[in-house]
Structure 1
């Protein structure tokens, strides 16, 4: 039995879609904070269990009988370490035979401040004694595509990534990798550095948006503090604005680049190129 935490989220649902191409539904458990949001998964024959990272008692129940576990990292930056520790403790008690964790690209050397909690989670996993595999995911291309409407409106794509090359991939690519790891043998102890086959700068992204939209869009690089202020002015919460600006600066230092093509090797196909993803976002 394979349990997926945060299964009603965007990545979790895509992982389940990929798993259903390989396994019968009754072998998959969707562990979710709010079971009401996963009624569609239950309708597909998947067992839905209540699992809240902040309520350890739910985790112990949710992981009963689990052979393998995909722990999708919490979205609550700043609270991830205790939340992840609770899941790992529950996995120990349940006797999970393999725990796959969605970490961040080059977590041990990444210049992104966001990597700190992932690095600490990896340390907790190593100390736990549970056989584990690390899915060190790079950036989702979708993270940048959400800015397309504003870029088209103002004719400028803002960021702080400078000339940093970003080897992002579609969320569905990372989901396929997670499904592969959960269904392949001899994964314990492996570290997969996952990124897109090709990389681009934000200037090249802006040029691709302009080409497809038929409207002028130029990239404007801002200092971290200025970019953060712009994001806050656009209505983003301060913490989230800080995360985005810091991540862009990390990208300028090579934090979102990898050319090993481990992701495409793992999923058995090329990663999704930038152009069709921009096209879909424009539609």
Structure 2
């Protein structure tokens, strides 16, 4: 069984490959599909096959996917360009008669108000239309998305945002990577969809209290309007469009769009998900 992983030198991709090896997949049965093979030299040393494949170049993808039985399509990171990029991969998978396509989507992609959801909804539709047996891994937010905010909070004495009391059921990137590895390494996941989120949901106020607990320094959460938060982010140097997008994510959080209490992630990986407190601890260690 040959298993391909796109975006294999990215943060998630590397963790997936490490998890596959821990599940005793032979390195020779793993194919790392990367845009720049030079960045995968360490993977090649482990016996993993490296193939060049660029989401923007369909001709490279058709060659990269040759002979694979299953494929993990890690969603591209260029917002606004991802649907076409994903289409290229899906078409190459179909031409190569891949029998199982696993895709990293977004939590509750079909109903989410987060603007990132639309490209995921459209990609899921393309995969269904392709006829390839699929598994959708609808990943929630990563704990790691908040590392810089945690560091800034310590330096500034506050967390800022517009998420209100919205609950965030995030998990560590490694948790999501392990879930992908489970799906690729075991049977019975075809044509299923998993809503993946952390076991313990938290609010931004909870995060401020956890930073306070670990540092002994009083950290408060300043809840702002969406526009106020966007202006604050833009004032810190972010492009206005990016600042507005981030503020929009927080506004969606306030309405529950990153909350899930089905515990499908923990059940899939067979253990509790990583608590946010662990990520706070690691973030604080980086500034000691």
Q: Specify the TM-score bucket, using the shorter chain as the normaliser.
A: over 0.9
Residues in 1 aligned to 2:123 and 2:168: alpha-carbon distance in whole angstroms: 24
Structure 2 SS opposite 1:200: coil
**Bigger shift: 235-244 or 142-151?**
235-244
| Equivalent residue number for residue 161 of structure 2 | 159
Contact kept, 8 Å, 1:114 with 1:243, in 2: the verdict is no
Residues in 2 aligned to 1:159 and 1:43: alpha-carbon distance in whole angstroms: 44
| Equivalent residue number for residue 7 of structure 1 | 8
**Bigger shift: 213-222 or 115-124?**
213-222
TM-score scaled by length of structure 1 = 0.98
Answer yes or no: is 1:53 the counterpart of 2:51.
Answer: no
Report deviation, 1:237: 3.3
For residues 215-251 of structure 1, give each alpha carbon's deviation from its aligned partner in whole angstroms, at most 9, with x where no partner exists: 1211011111221222222222334323321111111
Residues in 1 aligned to 2:119 and 2:81: alpha-carbon distance in whole angstroms: 9
Residues in 1 aligned to 2:243 and 2:49: alpha-carbon distance in whole angstroms: 37
| Equivalent residue number for residue 276 of structure 1 | 278
| Equivalent residue number for residue 109 of structure 1 | 111
Of 170, 189, 201, the match for 2:172: 170
Of 67, 70, 73, the match for 1:68: 70
Answer yes or no: is 1:212 the counterpart of 2:235.
Answer: no
Of 192, 195, 199, the match for 2:194: 192
| Equivalent residue number for residue 140 of structure 2 | 138
TM-score scaled by length of structure 2 = 0.96
Runs of at least 5 residues in structure 2 that lack an aligned partner in the other structure: none
Of 129, 144, 148, the match for 2:131: 129
Report deviation, 1:81: 0.5
Contact kept, 8 Å, 2:107 with 2:196, in 1: the verdict is yes
**Paired residues, number:** 283
Contact kept, 8 Å, 2:7 with 2:35, in 1: the verdict is yes
Residues in 1 aligned to 2:42 and 2:262: alpha-carbon distance in whole angstroms: 37
**Bigger shift: 182-191 or 192-201?**
182-191
Residues in 1 aligned to 2:38 and 2:240: alpha-carbon distance in whole angstroms: 30
Of 86, 97, 100, the match for 2:99: 97
Residues in 2 aligned to 1:136 and 1:257: alpha-carbon distance in whole angstroms: 12
| Equivalent residue number for residue 19 of structure 2 | 18
RMSD of the alignment, in Å? Answer: 1.0
Residues in 1 aligned to 2:166 and 2:196: alpha-carbon distance in whole angstroms: 17
Contact kept, 8 Å, 1:133 with 1:188, in 2: the verdict is yes
Rate the CA distance shift 1:236–1:261 in 2: closer, same or farther, 3 A. Answer: same
Structure 2 SS opposite 1:42: helix
Residues in 1 aligned to 2:191 and 2:143: alpha-carbon distance in whole angstroms: 28
Residues in 1 aligned to 2:3 and 2:154: alpha-carbon distance in whole angstroms: 43
Contact kept, 8 Å, 2:151 with 2:283, in 1: the verdict is no
Contact kept, 8 Å, 1:203 with 1:219, in 2: the verdict is yes
Structure 2 SS opposite 1:260: coil
Residues in 1 aligned to 2:244 and 2:100: alpha-carbon distance in whole angstroms: 34
Residues in 1 aligned to 2:226 and 2:207: alpha-carbon distance in whole angstroms: 19
Residues in 2 aligned to 1:31 and 1:55: alpha-carbon distance in whole angstroms: 13
